[in-house]
Amino acid sequence: MNRIARHTAIIAIMLWPALTAASPCQSLEAARWILGDWISGDDKSTVHESWTETSPQTFEGSGSNETGSDAAVNEIEALRLVEMAGEVFYMAKLSHDELPVAFRLTACGAGLLIFENPAHDHPRRIEYREDAAHRMVVAVSDRANKSSMLAFERRAIAADAGAVVLAAEDARFGAMVQADATLLGDLVADDLQYAHSTGKVESRQQFLDSIASGRTRYLTIEPIERQAVLLGDRSALVRGRGRFQVMAADNRLDLQLRYLAVYVKSGGRWRLQSWQSMRLPQ
């Protein structure tokens, strides 16, 4: 092997750890390094990804993409790492998709996670790796040589800022229980999309009309666990779980919901821009 070829091979090995050195992982311990809040982008577009441990077998994650001078959140992705049946799976669900897509952890090593789903169109492979600068590098690809890569920096989040977002959520929950559509209107964004656990999606006006008319009556809302993640100065995510007692079409429902809420800061106030919820078993 000549000197140039040998030098090129060494660089390739440094940049992309050899797959032969990675062995299948059966627990989430190898993925613990991704926990935390991560940010990538520039003045035109910013991508955030956040991971937290919710149980020894589950890491909950979220991804979002902001563009424009108003830092509007254009896309939300709910993510999950699950340890089950002796394997680890990566679950991803976009807001406009009906069902999540699963990828199996096929290889891992120090700072390396490779997830694959050969049956999916794009992507079929998702790779997470920690580079020498301790950045989280995420690469997605498929068999048609379509690929993309992002490098994320770890970001520290101020706890007090998250508390302000949760206070805004508490105020909104209170307005929903009191059926105060006027106050509620000040706490939701103009482009609100409210996706109920049934799959029904309401616009801002439809959501407010449902509360004002009494078609939907929230009797109690009790948050059980919540985490606020700041995505810059003007947007935030809240991942939560709570108990919702609701009267809908003369039916009393006692629901345990897991939800993802997106808030944007407008006029000095945090307002709900998007809500997605999933009903949990009783």
Domain holding 243: CATH number? Answer: 3.10.450.50
Long-range contacts of 257-263 (CB under 8 A, 24+ apart): 257/197, 260/62, 260/76, 260/78, 261/169, 261/237, 262/64, 262/73, 262/76, 262/235, 262/236, 262/237, 263/165, 263/168, 263/169, 263/235, 263/236, 263/237, 263/238
Residue 77 has pLDDT above 50, yes or no: yes
Residue 71 has pLDDT above 80, yes or no: no
Q: Quick: pLDDT tens for 118-128.
A: 999 889 999 99
Most confident range (mean pLDDT) of 18-32, 35-49, 181-195 is: 181-195
Q: Count the domains in the chain.
A: 2
pLDDT of amino acid 98: 79
- Rounded to an integer, the average pLDDT of 232-237 is 85
Residue 10 has pLDDT above 50, yes or no: no
Q: pLDDT > 70: what percent of the chain?
A: 85
Q: How confident is the model at residue 158 (pLDDT cuts 50, 70, 90)?
A: low
Alpha-carbon gap, residue 6 to 126, rounded angstroms: 28
Residue 193 covered by a domain: yes
- Rounded to an integer, the average pLDDT of 168-180 is 93
Residue 68 covered by a domain: yes
- Rounded to an integer, the average pLDDT of 197-219 is 94
Residue 10 covered by a domain: no
Q: In terms of domains, do 29 and 144 share one?
A: yes
pLDDT of amino acid 99: 85
Q: How confident is the model at residue 150 (pLDDT cuts 50, 70, 90)?
A: very high
Residue 4 covered by a domain: no
Q: In terms of domains, do 166 and 115 share one?
A: no
Domain that holds residue 171: 159-279
pLDDT of amino acid 282: 73
Residue 7 has pLDDT above 50, yes or no: no
Residue 251 covered by a domain: yes
Read off the CATH number of the domain in which 125 is found. Answer: 2.40.128.20
